[in-house]
Amino acid sequence: MRNNHSTQLIFELSTTGRTGVQLPACDVPQQEIEQLIPAALLQSEAPDLPEVTEPEVVRHFTNLSTLNMSVDTHYYPLGSCTMKYNPKRNERIAAWDGFAQLHPYQSDESVQGMLQLLWKLQQMLGEISGLPAVSLQPAAGAHGELAALMVAAAYFHQQGETRSKVLAPDSAHGTNPASARMAGFDFVTIRSQADGRVDLEHLKENLGDDTAVFMITNPSTLGLFDDQVQLIADLVHEAGGLIYLDGANMNAILGISRPGDFGADMMHFNPHKTFSGPHGGGGPGAGPICMTETLRPFLPNPTVTFCDETQTYYLDHGTQESIGRVRSFFGNVGVLIRAYCYIRTHGPEGLRRVSETAVLNANYLLSQVKGFLGVPHGDRCMHEFVASAVSVKESTGLKQPAMQIAKRLLDYGFHPPTVYFPLTVPEGMMMEPTETESKQTLDAFAETLQTILQEPIETLNNAPHSTHIRRPDEVMAARQPIVKWTETAD
């Protein structure tokens, strides 16, 4: 049983009879609940909910919040996730009553301001991507992948073609194969060359008239821009397939390179990664998708459209070719507002500087780290790089040095980088500093990594030493999660 009041479960704080609310007297005719809800849907007993006062609730969750790591409290070099500081102005604007208090059932006429903002965001994302047909509806990056692959399936169906395979490099995000299978495709992994680029010969071997889509993350999860991308696009297009650009790493090429210009037919944005917005904790998120004009008829509906004749904005529900809704109402609009504010704040030149600084920071950190950790894929990177702790494993005998280093970083007040991804780098540690971190922070992080590598093995094996939760069994936690406190919970 926990002794620390700040880490007790809310059920442990419960005392029968306590309450934090006082409801007004009923001012409408009362009816038995059985008259309102079918008996089959009613429980025989009331749920076992905690009974606590308002101060207890507030203190409980406030105390828990102080145990969190976040981009507001710690440096967060989480490779592939782009955990950069989010401007608080964007948060305040998204919370304005004129945005936050709108109701999804309001008529188009009564939400012209919101529709104008969303229409302009569609135009800006189309310009940044080089792909003019845009849907803001998907609720996350992976959801955008799925929606785009559904569009691809609808497109090939209309063409009377049966194409069953989606291809992607072995360094792809795990959501790529998952999205492909959920959209009804078979998935084929394409090997990478020793330099991290796509193996063109292996790609050619797998291209055929059954190829629907080649999914590529460029820059890749290795932090490399594959300069073969135009050739790859030409090969896939010659085979009749489409190119999908996983936009997870767009933070590296804003205003510098457009996916539509180097051959992509469709892509998604992660606005929380690229354009500001809360990231993590399960949501909410957004995953706008951008496509060529050829694919516009198949976009999820509705999309925001402007009528020149009436000078008004409205929700266009499209044609029968559309794949239909992929999200209730219009998706997570609050995240889209933040993205709009971010883009308008920076402007075209500012967005380019964002990417240039992100790439500069990553290359600076790489230069600081490569002296004591291996970096398998060269001395230069884009927005992130993958170091390897294989040399640490060989010199110390540690079985999982990347994991042990990651846990020890917590004691020094740094969130760990992504470890063991991509799988193509043994003992990989993926680091992405983002453009919002200072040189002093990057220096401190590199110095801490070097300090950790000089510590006794016992220190690493037992880390972290200062956190409230130290070394949980991660496999058991994933397979047998305890989501409710019981009398036997410890």
Range of the domain at 211: 89-345
pLDDT above 60: residue 282:
no
Q: Would you state the pLDDT for residue 290? A: 98
Q: Would you state the pLDDT for residue 9? A: 87
Neighbours of 344 (CB within 10 A): 14
Gap between the Cα atoms of 418 and 429, Å rounded: 6
> What average pLDDT does this structure show over 200-213?
97
pLDDT-derived band at 211 (thresholds 50, 70, 90) equals: very high
Q: Which of 369, 400, 401 is nearest to 384 (CA)?
A: 369
Residue 143 lies in a domain: yes
Are 239 and 283 contained in the same domain? yes
Q: How many domains does the chain have?
A: 3
Residues 2-60: tens digit of each pLDDT:
445 556 889 999 999 999 888 899 999 999 888 999 989 999 888 889 999 999 999 99
Are 240 and 115 contained in the same domain? yes
Over pLDDT 70: what percentage of the chain? 96
pLDDT-derived band at 485 (thresholds 50, 70, 90) equals: low
Are 160 and 287 contained in the same domain? yes
Over pLDDT 90: what percentage of the chain? 82
Are 59 and 94 contained in the same domain? no
pLDDT above 90: residue 127:
yes
Q: Would you state the pLDDT for residue 330? A: 86
Q: Which of 267, 325, 270, 261 is nearest to 295 (CA)?
A: 267
Give me the amino acid identity at 378.
G
pLDDT-derived band at 473 (thresholds 50, 70, 90) equals: confident
pTM above threshold 0.75? yes
Are 118 and 139 contained in the same domain? yes
Are 318 and 382 contained in the same domain? no
Residues 324-370: tens digit of each pLDDT:
999 988 888 999 999 999 999 999 999 999 999 999 999 999 999 99
**β-strand 428-431 against 385-388: which pairing, if any?**
antiparallel
Stronger pLDDT, 44 or 417, i.e. the higher one? 417
Are 323 and 391 contained in the same domain? no
Q: Would you state the pLDDT for residue 281? A: 58
Are 313 and 370 contained in the same domain? no
**Average of per-residue pLDDT values in the chain:** 93
> What average pLDDT does this structure show over 184-209?
96
Classify each residue of 112-128 as buried b or exposed e, where b means 16 or more C-beta atoms within 10 Å of its C-beta. Answer: eebbebbbbbbebbbbb
Q: Would you state the pLDDT for residue 471? A: 86
Specify the CATH number for the domain of residue 284.
Answer: 3.40.640.10
